[in-house]
Structures are given as C-alpha cells and as structure tokens.
C-alpha cells in the first residue's frame, strides 16, 4: 500500500509539476525574448544582414528559450525522481538544458515552414482569391512540430542518464513521441468539434493538458521500478 500511495503521489506531482514548469518557462521566454531583441539590435558587432545574422539570431533564441525550459522541467523531474527513487541522477539538468536548446533549433526550422504556408494563406485572404478555410489538421500538426521538439530532444539526451538506471531507456523517448501524437490528436479533435466552447470541451482541455504528464509519468515509474537495473551507480 505504501508503494501504491507514493506512486500515486509521484504521478500527481509529476503532472502538476510538468504543467507548472512549462507555464513558467513560457512566461519566462515571453519576458526574455523582447529583451533579447533589444539587445541584439543595440549590439554594434552583430552583422547587419545575411546568413550570419540569421544563424546568430537563431542560436541566441535557442539558448534563451531552451535554457529556462530545460532548467524548469529538468529540475521538477529530478526533484521528484530523487524523492521517489532515492538516487542522484547526475547530469540530468545539464542534458535537459542541452536537449531543450537543440530542440528549439528544430522548432525554429518548423516555424519557418509554417510561416511560409501562413504567408501564402494570408495572401489569399488579402486578394480574396479562392479563399478556403484553414486546415485544422495542419494547425494541430504545426503546433506539435513547434512545441514538441524541445521536449523530445530533452528525453533523447536524458536517456544518457537513464540508461544507468533502467534496461530500456529508449522507452523514455518513445513515451514523449507518443505523448506528442496523443496531444496533437486531442487538440485536433477539440478544434474540429468546437469542444473548447462547451463544458465537455473543458474536460477535454484538462485531459489535453495533462496527457503528456500522464504518459511520461507512468513510463518513468515503469522504467525505474519494473525494469530497473539490478545495481544503480549509487549502489555500487
């Protein structure tokens, strides 16, 4: 019974912590990006235009966005894992931040693709030429392509630490890919049915927000309890 209660507590705190950390990172990024823009404009040594400017801007944006995201999510994960499993999980924060930064770079390229498609659609609206409703599936897919790469890349680099504690660390990456698919499917369903504007839709919205935490939380419990390695680094 003790293990059941502690696992339930772990799951509840994991879901709440993941939502809170993503919200906090979003707020932090919203505050930091305008400051970064002003700083980049005022720096005299940055190239005025060209490929070099784009590369520098993308790198700075990746660092500014990926660092708070990786720090907050990684800190919540590590804190709950240490509390539940009594292990150190060294380098967890470092690989989390590094993975988030790499993931933001992928999101930037996905944003460029989305901007091109949106630009064509806005041109149709401006000219009133063969105007068609926006593709809901494309909206859901682009949302996932923009927001999921940092989380998936974080999980990919976190396997470097998890492989010391479990025999199937690759399931951690798979769990995040599945959570992204589930999230996009639920988002597509809610938008398509207009469920955001009715009571049932709000319940669906809660499931939508909590779904990544539910999937990844159960996966972490499975990895570190049922298929854990016989000896952890702290026990050697």
Model confidence pLDDT, tens digit, residues 19-74: 999 899 889 888 888 887 777 666 665 665 567 777 778 888 888 889 999 999 99
- For the question of whether the overall pTM of this predicted structure is more than 0.95, the answer is no
Sign of CA dihedral 53, 153, 189, 197: negative
Which structure tokens are listed for 175?
């769990």
Q: Would you write out the chain's pLDDT as a tens digit for each of its 236 residues?
A: 767 888 899 999 999 999 999 899 889 888 888 887 777 666 665 665 567 777 778 888 888 889 999 999 999 999 999 999 988 898 999 999 999 999 999 988 888 777 666 655 555 555 555 555 556 666 667 777 788 899 999 999 999 999 999 989 999 999 999 998 888 888 777 777 765 555 455 777 788 888 899 999 999 999 999 888 888 776 65
The domains of the chain are located at 2-235
Cα-based distances in Å from 107 to 61, 101, 144, 184: 11, 10, 9, 16
pLDDT at 38: 76
**What's the gap between Cα 65 and its chain centre?**
11
Q: Is 197 helix (H, G, I), strand (E, B) or coil?
A: helix
CA angle, 42 then 45 then 47, to 5°: 95
Q: 136: left (phi > 0), else alpha (psi -120 to 50), else beta?
A: alpha
For 122, the token pair is 């806005």
């Amino acid at each position: 019974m003790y293990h059941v209660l502690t696992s339930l507590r772990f799951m509840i705190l994991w879901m709440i912590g993941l939502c809170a950390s993503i919200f906090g990172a979003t707020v932090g990024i919203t505050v930091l990006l305008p400051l970064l823009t002003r700083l980049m404009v005022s720096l005299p040594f940055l190239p005025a235009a060209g490929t070099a400017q784009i590369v520098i801007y993308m790198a700075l944006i990746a660092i500014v966005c990926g660092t708070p995201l990786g720090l907050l999510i990684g800190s919540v994960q590590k804190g709950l894992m240490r509390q539940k499993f009594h292990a150190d999980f060294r380098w967890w924060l470092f690989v989390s931040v590094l993975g988030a930064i790499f993931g933001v770079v992928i999101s930037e390229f996905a944003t460029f693709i989305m901007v091109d498609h949106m630009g064509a659609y806005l041109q149709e609206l401006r000219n009133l030429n063969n105007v068609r409703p926006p593709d809901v599936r494309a909206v859901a897919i682009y949302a996932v392509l923009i927001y999921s790469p940092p989380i998936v890349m974080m999980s990919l680099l976190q396997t470097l630490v998890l492989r010391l504690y479990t025999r199937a660390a690759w399931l951690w990456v798979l769990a995040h890919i599945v959570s992204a698919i589930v999230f996009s499917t639920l988002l597509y369903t809610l938008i398509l049915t207009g469920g955001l504007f009715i009571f049932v839709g709000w319940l669906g919205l809660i499931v939508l927000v909590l779904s990544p935490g539910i999937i990844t939380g159960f996966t972490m419990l499975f990895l570190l309890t049922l298929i854990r390695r016989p000896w952890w680094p702290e026990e050697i």
